[in-house]
Amino acid sequence: MEFHVYENARAACEAAGVLIAAQITRKGDSVLGLATGSTPIPAYEMLTQWYDRGVIDFDRVRTFNLDEYVGIDHKNPLSYHAFMQEHLFSKVNLRPENVHLPSGNGAADAEAYDKAIHDAGGIDIQLLGIGRNGHIGFNEPADDFTYGTHVVTLTADTIEANARFFKSADEVPRQAVSMGIGNIMAAKCVVLVATGENKAKAVRDTIRGPITPRVPASVLQ
Ligand code: GLP
């Protein structure tokens, strides 16, 4: 595991964008594991700019997103489907058939999602943010590490943290479908970006604490 510390949040995230761009440059049909949240937005902006300038080409790139809320329409601007459309998919030449997110229909398509990742040859580079409770994707603190894609019941802390996007905490979906820790660990390279004071404890516990499913990101050690 390598650590890099940057002057500000934008630089940290753009550095992750550099790694993704390098991956696409090396291998045109790369499989990207993508994340939502505020943290990765500067990386998507960088990738979009490099695409506009002809530096990178998404024509053969395949993508798999970490997670989606259960029971939220994909057209709802608060869905992760809509987030990805807005910040990346509508801006580059990714083919719709090469873009994948969990449907958010509950357990029904979890196995199919894992199979699709496997059939694509696995994830070359996985981008991650981190929850302030140490979650990655929507893998919440738990008694065990999860393996594959699964339905998660969100913790009160995550509902509160994500309420800023909704009208109130009551409107935050209570469940999500998330890739498991096993899916994330199977990626050939994992890049986690953490910014802001409210992530400091999660970062410390991830790097210096014991490896425990109570701090899901600690598995990266
Ligand atoms: C959500 C997502 C995570 C993300 C986290 C932090 O819970 N499921 O993938 O890492 O939010 O988001 P932010 O980057 O906005 O702090």
| Model confidence at 25: pLDDT above 90 | yes
Burial environment of residue 1 by CB neighbours within 10 A (0 to 12, 13 to 18, 19 or more): exposed
pLDDT of residue 106: 78
Closest Cα partner for 201 from 141, 127, 133, 135?
Answer: 133
pLDDT at 132: 94
* Calpha distance 140→81 (Å, rounded): 21
pLDDT reading at 37 higher than 90? yes
The span from the CA of 76 to the CA of 61, in Å, is 26
Q: Are 217 and 192 in contact (CB under 8 A)?
A: yes
Q: Name which of 102-111, 149-158, 187-196, 206-215 the model is least confident about.
A: 102-111
What is the per-residue pLDDT for 204? Answer: 98
Q: Catalytic site residue 133?
A: yes
Going by alpha carbons, the residue nearest to atom 3 of ligand 1 is: 137
Question: Which SS3 state, helix, strand or coil, does residue 133 take?
Answer: coil
Residue 189 has pLDDT above 90, yes or no: yes
Are the CB atoms for 26 and 73 separated by under 8 Å? no
pLDDT of residue 118: 97
Q: Are 95 and 199 in contact (CB under 8 A)?
A: no
Residue of 67, 68, 114, 124 marked active site: 67
Q: Using the 8-state DSSP alphabet, how is residue 72 labeled?
A: -
> Quick check: is 100 catalytic?
no
Residue with tokens 């943010």: 129
- Catalytic residue among 68, 114, 124, 140, which? 140
Count CA atoms closer than 13 A to 63's CA, side-chain side.
Answer: 24
Q: Which residues line ligand 1 (CB under 6 A)?
A: 35-39, 66-67, 129-131, 137-138, 158, 162
Active site residue 67: yes
Residue 98 annotated as catalytic: no
Q: What is the pLDDT of residues 92-109, one digit of tens each?
A: 999 999 999 999 887 878
Compute the CA torsion angle 126, 131, 136, 139 (nearest 10 deg).
-160
Give the active site residue among 124, 135, 162, 183: 135
